Homo-oligomer: A and B are copies of this chain.
Amino acid sequence: MKRPTMKDVAQAAGVSLMTVSRVVSQTPGVSPDTAAKVEQAVRRLGYQRNDNARNLRQKRLGTSAIGLVVDDLANPFYALMARSIEDEAHRRGYVVLVGSTNDEPRRERDVIAAFTARQVDGLIMVPTIGSHGFLRTALEAGTQVVCVDRPAKDLDVDTVTVDNRDGARRAVTHLLGHGHTRIAYLGDRHNIWTQSERYAGYQDALAAHGLPTDPALVRHGLRSPVDTRLALAALGALPEPPTALFSSNDLITQGVLDGMEDDGGPRSTGRPAPMAVVGFDDLPLAKRLDPPLTVVSQDPVAIGSTAANLLFTRIAGDRSAPRNVVLLTRFVERRSGERPAPAP
């Protein structure tokens, strides 16, 4: 009923505990005969080594566990990233502990504390806006850390991000190229790094065309589809409504699409949407929409594997200066950005 230990196996096989240890951990120096005896006892008792106890004693190899801390594991972007990290970890014989912060610094701290208390060898994290001073101890103790998706302001560690600003700039430039001059910006909280970067890209593009940023056309802090629909309605009620729109993440894009449907009244399905739109982040059925949705897309799998590789290099002993890897976005031109600006 109880979990057998090496002692039990030793007794069953008529050898010393140490011999069992050698066999179970594949250490050379055991005669084939005794090894066979031990292996049989192992099978008979259904013995499995307790790796926690093992790691306690033998800290040379660490715990072969890493922690992954993301905003929200249910977000397809992070889910893809997580899978790719998990694959890399699995290949190397590591397990991964996973936790969502929900963008709450408090929860982030709890999750990370729970992970480091279990002696993870490394941490891949999507940092919240909070402070990360509490990580200094872990860092000094040798826990390797890599930030993904956004940098942690107060943490000098390897970081993997994409060029959000450039991506947004290209998106808005595309809209500009189709004659739009009143382009709305719909974004999540501005204090999220990716969002402020994308907003900067939006402004870059306007400025490059000699256009000012009209505060009436920019809406930050959209956290849900509902927020977005409200913002959209407000935009539509403006004396001079925008003719195009840049949406700063997938959730907002969803809200935009839903909101536009409302404008059409009953049976508006299939009617052209009233504005040109380009969104940050691709959506699974984007190309099947009417019109097909033009987006700036990131590659979460590449981001994840890059981060994992950095982390495992660190775990393997690399102590060089922190690296900052910036991946590029891909501009996927479909048709939703091509709707021409109406004549003035």
Interface residues of A (CB under 8 A from B): 1-3, 46, 48-53, 55-56, 63, 65, 72-76, 79-80, 82-84, 86-87, 90, 93, 95-100, 107, 110-111, 113-119, 136-138, 140-142, 254, 257-258, 261, 269-270, 283-286, 288-292, 335
Contact residues in B for A114 (Cβ distance below 8 Å): 51, 93, 95
Copies of this protein, total: 2
**CA A254 to CA B261, docked complex, whole Å:** 22
A308 to chain B, nearest CB (A): 14
Q: Which residue of B lies closest to A254 (CB)?
A: B284
Q: How far is the CA of A55 from the CA of B136 in the complex (A)?
A: 25
Contacts of A86 in B (CB 8 A): 73, 98-100
A52 and B116 CA atoms in complex are apart in Å by: 10
A76 and B202 alpha carbons, distance in the complex (Å): 30
CB A68 to nearest CB in B, in angstroms, measures 8
Contact indicator A52/B118 (Cβ below 8 Å): yes
Residues of B within 8 A of A100 (CB): 83, 86-87, 90
- Residue among A74, A83, A136 with most chain B CB within 10 A: A74
CA distance A116 to B51 in the complex (A): 9
Nearest Cβ distance between residue A136 and chain B, in whole angstroms? 7
Nearest to A272 among chain B residues (CB) is: B270
Q: Which of B50, B136, B258, B283 contacts A117 (CB 8 A)?
A: B50
Q: Which residue of B lies closest to A75 (CB)?
A: B79
Q: Which residue of the partner chain, among B79, B90, B289, contacts A288 with CB atoms under 8 Å?
A: B289
- In the assembly, what is the distance between CA of A189 and CA of B51, in Å? 36
Least distance between A117 CB and chain B CB atoms (Å)? 4
Which residues of chain B are near A288, meaning CB under 8 Å? Answer: 257-258, 261, 285, 289
| Closest chain B CB from A62 CB (angstroms) | 12
Shortest Cβ distance from A138 into B: residue: B48
Shortest Cβ distance from A257 into chain B, in angstroms?
5
CB-based closest 3 A-B pairs: A46-B137, A79-B79, A74-B83
22 A-B Cβ contacts within 8 A? Answer: A46-B140, A48-B138, A50-B117, A51-B117, A52-B52, A52-B119, A56-B56, A72-B83, A73-B83, A74-B84, A75-B79, A82-B98, A93-B114, A95-B111, A254-B284, A254-B285, A269-B292, A283-B285, A285-B285, A285-B286, A285-B289, A290-B290
Complex contact B290–A117 (CB within 8 A): no
The reply to whether A48 and B113 contact each other, CB–CB distance below 8 Å, is yes
B74 touches A79 (CB 8 A): yes
New contact pairs (18) apart from A48-B117, A96-B97, A285-B285, CB-CB < 8 Å: A2-B141, A3-B142, A48-B137, A51-B118, A52-B56, A52-B63, A73-B79, A74-B80, A79-B82, A87-B100, A90-B99, A93-B114, A95-B115, A96-B99, A97-B98, A254-B285, A270-B270, A270-B290
In the bound assembly, the distance between CA atoms of A234 and B53 in angstroms comes to 58
Q: Which residues of B contact A111 (CB under 8 A)?
A: 90, 95
Which of A3, A49, A113 has the largest number of chain B CB atoms within 10 A? A3
Give CA–CA (A335, B72) in the complex, Å: 32
